[in-house]
Copies of this chain bind each other. A is one copy, B any other.
């Protein structure tokens, strides 16, 4: 039986697999569908509630073009029925956004034992900070 951190990391991997595949259906299925969800896309104000979060993913995945994520610094923490994964998203889009994003994905365990995304927050890492 997989451990909680393994299950959360699997959910996190599914998140980026759906993102890379441009699969709105795949992405939306990973989220809790409630008013408690929120999402801060890089550079955006935070979106609150399922209606706005859903719309944002539909738009991004429809118009974003092919993206490839090389994830580094993945770290998972589980505290009860809440877990979060930190990772660095290294974006290799042929067209569209490039660069490095410091992300946190927050998950909650539902009554079926599934880990669902309740928050995603990405912040662009400013290159000059790294030099």
A43: contacting residue among B45, B118, B124, CB under 8 A: B124
**Count of this chain's copies in the oligomeric assembly:** 2
- The binding surface of chain A is classed by DSSP as strand
Please report which residues of chain A, range 61-84, place their CB below 8 angstroms from some CB of chain B when the two chains form the complex: 73, 75, 77, 79-82, 84
Interface residues of A, Cβ cutoff 8 Å to B: 36, 38, 40, 42-46, 48, 73, 75, 77, 79-82, 84, 86, 88, 100, 102, 104, 106, 108, 118-119, 121-126, 129-130
Report whether A129 and B43 are in contact in the complex, using a CB–CB cutoff of 8 Å.
yes
Report whether A86 and B38 are in contact in the complex, using a CB–CB cutoff of 8 Å.
yes
Nearest-CB residue, chain B, relative to A73: B46
Report whether A77 and B36 are in contact in the complex, using a CB–CB cutoff of 8 Å.
yes
Report whether B36 and A104 are in contact in the complex, using a CB–CB cutoff of 8 Å.
no
Which of A81, A88, A106, A121 has most chain B Cβ within 10 Å?
A: A121
Closest 10 interchain pairs by CB?
A123-B123, A43-B126, A82-B82, A80-B80, A46-B102, A40-B102, A79-B82, A45-B125, A121-B121, A43-B129
CB neighbours of A48 from chain B (8 A): 73, 75, 86
Nearest-CB residue, chain B, relative to A83: B82
